[in-house]
Structure 1
Amino acid sequence: MPPIPKSHIWYFTRSYPSLFLKPPHCEILDSPFLSISEMATVPGQLIWEIVKKNNSFLVKEFGNGTASVKFSKEPNNLYNLHSYKHSGLANKKTVTIQPGKDQSVLLATTKTKKQNKPSTLLNKSLMKKEFNRMAKAVVNQVADNHYRPDLKKAALARLSVVNRSLKVSKSGAKKKNRQRL
């Protein structure tokens, strides 16, 4: 295998991998931090091939025999499955649904442009309405807006689970156990 040319410098952060390219006439710097104009983003397929077998978010569950299931704890993964389709690291367009403050649900989608600015990477919307209105808003953001229509079912499932977890159980008079003698 030929050596990697010195004009290519790789730099990976936890969730924003990038390939830094330097023009051949420039000197190679010791630091991988270059200006934004010199940075090119890495395709999602390459990122997935790099993080597919080993990353800090991977959780392997072993069942009976040789059957094993791979889960992922990475952010922006709706089903928490370790697959390219649901990966929050490898895809440019991701969807997140999380519980917010004061019985609300946070829907966040990543912006497709300006991926090199992590502070402004997410479009966040806070939903405090009843479940039907929140479901309609999620469908509008994910599927009807042509953002990621393949994640519509996963987003609605996550919304249902998050909404159910926010409900407070009603405390009332305890029922008597009538089976006692």
Structure 2
Amino acid sequence: MSVSRPNVSNDLIWQITRNQNAYLVRRNTGGGSQFSRDPLNLVNKHSFKYSGFANNKAVGVQSDENGNVVLITKKPNNTQQPAQSLVTVSYGPKTSTRKIYKGVASKTAQHGYRADVREEAVSRVSALRRAGLPKKETPASKPRGAKARQAEEKSE
């Protein structure tokens, strides 16, 4: 028995759920900005283009506690079974950044999946990799000129 796709369009799902859903975050500051906590939303922007729950084809990039970059894609054919519709690919912390970029770009562009969000997916990977790097310690600046002379006089 094959499971058929529901007769509900993505646009209708978005129109029904755009004002109230579990992922919506509203802020009064900044002109009443609206954000999204959807794991399949690449830019955390509350819009139909980036919405993971309203689109049959969605892409998400996250990092886990081990420093891995996880690419999550949604199968367009399994809309009736949401738990089995997600495909995850994990890239370890030692994997080269170029290899991850290539994997993400090819996954989003294969067979016309979601080429419109390829750039956002790669930039999200870049941001996650930068966030995972250890912080560089800046050396204390040495006083120069008059401040150096004052510090020298105080130490004597």
TM above 0.5, yes or no, is yes
How far apart are 1:178 and its partner, in Å? 1.5
**Greater helix share, structure number:** 2
Distance 1:141 1:153, change over 3 A: same
Match of 1:50 in 2: 16
Structure 2 vs 1, CA of residues 56 and 95 (structure 1 numbering), >3 Å: closer, same or farther? same
- Is 1:82 the counterpart of 2:46? The answer is yes
Q: Deviations over 1:86-116 (max 9, x none)?
A: 1111100000111135322111101111222
TM-score (norm 1): 0.69
* Alignment correspondent of 1:135: 101
Q: Identity across aligned pairs (percent)?
A: 29
TM-score (norm 2): 0.78
Q: Distance in 2 between matches of 1:39 and 1:145?
A: 20
Q: CA deviation at 1:124?
A: 1.1
Q: CA RMSD in A?
A: 2.4
- Deviations along 1:7-59, one digit per CA (max 9) or x if unpaired, are xxxxxxxxxxxxxxxxxxxxxxxxxxxxx969835221111011112223212
Describe the shift of the 1:133–1:39 C-alpha distance in structure 2 as closer, same or farther (beyond 3 A). Answer: closer
Q: Does 2:123 correspond to 1:157? A: yes
**Partner amino acid, structure 1, of 2:58:** T
- Counterpart in 1 of 2:154? none
Deviations 1:46-78 (A, max 9, x none): 1101111222321222346xx332111122111
Residue 123 of structure 1 deviates from its aligned partner by 1.3
More strand by share: 1
CA contact (8 A) 2:3 2:80 kept: no
